[in-house]
Amino acid sequence: MQPDVQAAALENFQETRDAFVKGLEALSGGDKGGRTIPQIQSNLHRLINTLSMWTLIREATEKEGKCFEERCTNLMDVIDDLIGMLQLDSNLEDRVTLKLFDMATMQIGSLTLDGFSNVDREAVYNAKMIESEQSRWEKKKVWQDCARQSLLRDFWTRFYYKGYDCICRQCMDYYLPKRDPTPSPPLSPLPETDIDSYMATSSEEE
């Protein structure tokens, strides 16, 4: 990466991240902002491209958190599958779709170049949200999952990332909840055609 490009990316990192978070948060609340599914997919592809660029910005700097590049790479893969999910389910107000955007919001919002401190408040807030969400999934029995919950658990398992050789605060479980989080509300059944389509797509990718 060219030094001037790297410097600009570092300077604008939080602003760029927070802009993506704002857009994802709106989608998680059912607000499409007048955008069509292809436009939303295009924005998600732009997010993937930005994540790819972010994997290079920490090189030869003192920015903290060796897991940062791996987190970005992991998010690129999961968000690419989220784009594919939108092609299967055009109902952006479905609660599974809204929850997937909520998961993405937390994960993008938790990305930080200040992993050894709490100076990045947006990242700290989202890191705490992530650990609360993880606690909810850990308390739910896998065998009790309906098809919709199983789909969400699959995505969340892939979203949730720890760098086991990283000593940043997120990887060192600094933000674990101090009390049990509020349980998630139940989901209505997902049409079997949507589940079958998603599972078939996942099998083809493997």
When pLDDT is averaged across residues 138-151 and rounded to a whole number, the result is 88
What confidence tier does 145 reach under pLDDT thresholds 50, 70, 90? confident
pLDDT at 1: 87
Kindly report which listed range (49-58, 89-98, 165-174, 195-204) carries the lowest average pLDDT score: 195-204
The pLDDT of residue 131: 97
Average pLDDT over residues 176-197: 62
pLDDT of 109 strictly over 60? yes
Give the integer Cα–Cα distance in Å for 23 and 77. Answer: 19
What b/e string do you get for 170-188 counting C-beta neighbours within 10 Å, with b at 16 or more? bbeeebeeeeeeeeeeebe
Residue 185: band (very low, low, confident or very high) from pLDDT cuts 50, 70, 90 = low
Find all residues with CB under 8 Å of 150, minimum gap 6, and list them: none
pLDDT higher than threshold 80 for residue 198 = no
- Greater confidence, 33 or 76? 76
**pLDDT of 43 higher than 80:** yes
Q: Which residue in 179, 187, 117 sits closest to 149, CA to CA?
A: 187
pLDDT of residue 136: 92
Share of the chain above pLDDT 90, in %: 67
The pLDDT-based confidence of 74 (bands split at 50, 70, 90) is: very high
Please give the radius of gyration of the chain, using alpha carbons only, rounded to the nearest integer: 17
Question: What are the structure tokens assigned to 71, written together?
Answer: 């987190």
Residue 162 clears pLDDT 60, i.e. is over it: yes
| pLDDT band for position 91 (cuts 50, 70, 90) | confident
User: Residue 101 has what pLDDT?
Assistant: 97
pLDDT at 120: 97
On the question of pLDDT at 203 being above 80, the answer is: no
Greater confidence, 62 or 111?
111
